[in-house]
């Protein structure tokens, strides 16, 4: 059986709530293993989580996508003495390729303060032995080609030469549910992923206006499922035309077509708020970034969010397009989102960019009057 060391970050700061956070994290780690047909024993000791499994290499990829973890390492166990530690570290360095043309460093962490060597002493002793035997160049900076990690606990030492980054954040589900509006574009899947990173179960809602955009949205949801261990992402799909067409027809009647984008977004958000109420979600998530398009000016965000029954979260609000694209590439949604795009059939020739709440209220009253007459 092999062993994988899982490191978490901000969970260590949760004080009395840490037990609940760690319990959720272990549950999600088990769900990640199960989702890929893997078996393993998941435990936590002090500030580390461990997976003991005979499928170490197969487990590394899914575990590297578990929210709440900042990094993972397959480790080799050594006896609780400097000779065994040095011997195992030497073999790990050899396997990792340390040689005259490859730089390395040793980084020890001694949680057992009764161990007769301090962390700097372990670094020097083990590093010196590796250098003498393998002739690798010592580089104590982050630029070293290989880092040999050593963690000395009360009963044993763990040695590793690989550290695989994980997404960090909070364990999925610890903060409850949100509804996320997902189009076929670049931004909304990234916004949903960021809320998942902050511990939220996401309920994806898509408003379809073309098979092309709906296909992209569903494919992006499949990508997000690779991070959603412990929660089944089940999209809800509604017709965008049925949701907004009656309102847009009334806007044309009163000569306020420029407000179409604002009222379109409001209609989608209102429907999402209804879904949130039905499914016990606390907020609605949008992929808006400030100033990106006409409906995302500061003024228009005010009027689109006005009088909504749920909080509206915009996790991308301060990012520019380049930063959003970088995240989309990292997550794996960019290529899908940039497939051939359809055009919005409801886009007016001159969309409004600076709406105001008083004008919004006036138009709402006019629409209500038309609705009353129709009935």
Tell me the per-residue pLDDT of 170-181, one tens digit each, with 9 for 90 and over. Answer: 999 999 999 999
Do 157 and 199 have their domain in common? Answer: no
3-state class (DSSP) for residue 283:
coil
Do 94 and 186 have their domain in common? Answer: no
Share of the chain above pLDDT 70, in %: 98
- Mean pLDDT for the stretch of residues 320-332: 96
DSSP 179: E
- Given 145, 165, 185, which residue is the final one in a domain? 165
Do 103 and 182 have their domain in common? Answer: no
Do 98 and 222 have their domain in common? Answer: no
In a domain? residue 12:
yes
Do 252 and 364 have their domain in common? Answer: yes
pLDDT higher than threshold 90 for residue 349: no
3-state class (DSSP) for residue 318:
coil
Do 91 and 148 have their domain in common? Answer: yes
Tell me the per-residue pLDDT of 15-25, one tens digit each, with 9 for 90 and over. Answer: 778 899 999 99
Do 145 and 290 have their domain in common? Answer: no
Mean pLDDT of the chain: 93
Lowest model confidence (mean pLDDT) among 129-133, 159-163, 210-214: 210-214
Euclidean distance between CA atoms 253 and 303, whole angstroms: 21
Strands 236-239 and 200-208: parallel
Tell me the per-residue pLDDT of 178-202, one tens digit each, with 9 for 90 and over. Answer: 999 999 999 999 999 999 999 999 9
Do 247 and 340 have their domain in common? Answer: yes
> Please, which pLDDT band fits residue 294 given cuts at 50, 70 and 90?
confident
pLDDT at position 1 is 85
Do 152 and 209 have their domain in common? Answer: no
- Mean pLDDT for the stretch of residues 29-46: 95
- Residue with the bigger pLDDT between 341 and 3: it is 3
Do 203 and 100 have their domain in common? Answer: no
Say if pTM beats, i.e. exceeds, 0.85: yes
pLDDT at position 292 is 83
pLDDT at position 179 is 98
In a domain? residue 171:
no
In a domain? residue 59:
yes
- Given 165, 193, 212, which residue is the final one in a domain? 165
Number of domains in the chain: 2
In a domain? residue 170:
no
Scan for tokens 């073309």, then name that residue: 210
Do 160 and 264 have their domain in common? Answer: no
pLDDT higher than threshold 80 for residue 252: yes
> Please, which pLDDT band fits residue 370 given cuts at 50, 70 and 90?
confident
CATH code of 65's domain: 3.30.2130.30
Structural domain that includes position 204: 176-374
Strands 69-78 and 2-8: antiparallel
Per DSSP (E only), the strands in the chain are 2-8, 41-45, 48-53, 69-78, 103-110, 137-138, 146-152, 157-160, 164-165, 176-181, 200-208, 236-239, 284-285, 312-313
- Given 165, 199, 215, which residue is the final one in a domain? 165
């Amino acid at each position: 059986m092999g062993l994988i060391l899982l490191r978490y970050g901000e969970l260590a700061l949760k004080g009395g709530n840490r037990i609940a956070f760690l319990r959720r994290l272990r549950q999600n780690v088990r769900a990640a293993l199960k989702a890929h047909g893997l078996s393993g024993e998941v435990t936590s000791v002090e500030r580390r989580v461990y997976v003991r499994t005979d499928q170490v290499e197969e487990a590394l990829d899914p575990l590297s996508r578990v929210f709440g973890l900042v990094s993972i390492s397959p480790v080799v166990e050594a006896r609780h003495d400097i000779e065994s530690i040095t011997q195992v570290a030497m073999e790990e360095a050899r396997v990792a390729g340390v040689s005259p043309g490859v730089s390395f460093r040793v980084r020890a962490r001694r949680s057992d303060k009764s161990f007769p060597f301090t962390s700097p002493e372990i670094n020097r002793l083990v590093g010196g032995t590796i250098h003498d035997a393998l002739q690798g160049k010592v580089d104590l900076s982050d630029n070293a080609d290989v880092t040999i990690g050593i963690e000395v606990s009360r009963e044993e030492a763990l040695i590793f030469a690989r550290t695989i980054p994980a997404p960090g954040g909070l364990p999925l589900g610890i903060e409850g549910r949100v509804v996320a509006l997902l189009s076929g574009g670049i931004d909304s899947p990234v916004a949903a992923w960021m809320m998942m990173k902050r511990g939220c179960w996401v309920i994806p809602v898509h408003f379809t206006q073309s098979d092309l955009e709906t296909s992209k949205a569903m494919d992006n949801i499949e990508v997000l499922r690779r991070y959603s261990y412990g929660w089944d992402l089940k999209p809800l799909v509604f017709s965008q035309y049925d949701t907004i067409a009656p309102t847009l027809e009334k806007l044309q009647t009163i000569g306020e077509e420029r407000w179409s984008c604002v009222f379109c977004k409001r209609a989608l958000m209102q429907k999402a708020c209804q879904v949130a109420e039905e499914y016990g979600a606390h907020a609605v998530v949008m992929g808006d970034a400030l100033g990106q398009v006409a409906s995302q000016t500061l003024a228009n965000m005010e009027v689109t969010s006005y009088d909504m029954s749920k909080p509206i979260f915009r996790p991308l609000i301060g990012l520019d397009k380049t930063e959003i694209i970088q995240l989309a590439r990292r997550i794996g949604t960019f290529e899908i989102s940039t497939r051939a795009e359809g055009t919005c059939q409801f886009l007016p020739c001159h969309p409004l960019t600076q709406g105001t709440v008083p004008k919004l209220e006036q138009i709402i009253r006019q629409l209500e009057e038309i609705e009353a007459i129709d009935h």
